[in-house]
Amino acid sequence: MTRAPLRENAKRSVMIAGHRTSVSLEAEFWSALQDIALGRGQSVQALIGAIDSERGERNLSSAIRVFVLRVFRDGSAPSERPFPDRAGIGEGVQEAGGRMGEA
C-alpha cells in the first residue's frame, strides 16, 4: 500500500490577546478550523484565541490539532459547543508572506 505524500505545513500569523504569533498547521487542519469557526458563527482568529486560553501547557499548534480531532471524533456538529469570543482578539489571520487569509 502506498501512502499519500504528507502536505507541507501552512504557517499563518495570528493575533492572540494583543500579541502576534505564528501557527503552523497542515492545510487540512486550517480547512477544518475554518469549517468549525463558520459553524459556530465566529472567526478563525476568535476560535484560535479560545483554544489558546484553554490549552494549558500544550503547544498551540498541537492544541489546535487536538481540538479539531475532538470536534470530529465526538461526532457533534462543529457549532454545538461554541467558545465565547475573547476580548483583545483580532479578526484577521495573516498568512506567511503578509497576505491575509480568511478568518
Q: What is the rounded average pLDDT of the residues 98-103?
A: 46
> For the chain, which residues make up each domain, given as ranges?
9-79+87-101
Q: What is the 3-state secondary structure (H, E, C) of 71-91?
A: HHHCCCCCCCCCCCCCCCCCC
Q: Residue 75: left if φ>0, alpha if ψ -120 to 50, beta else—which one? A: left
pTM of the model: 0.68
Cβ atoms < 10 Å from Cβ of 56 = 6
Query: For 33-80, what is each residue's pLDDT tens digit?
Result: 999 999 999 999 999 999 999 999 999 999 999 999 999 998 765 554
Radius of gyration of the chain (CA): 14
Percent of the chain with pLDDT strictly greater than 70: 66
The reply to whether CATH 1.10.3990.20 applies to domain 9-79+87-101 is yes
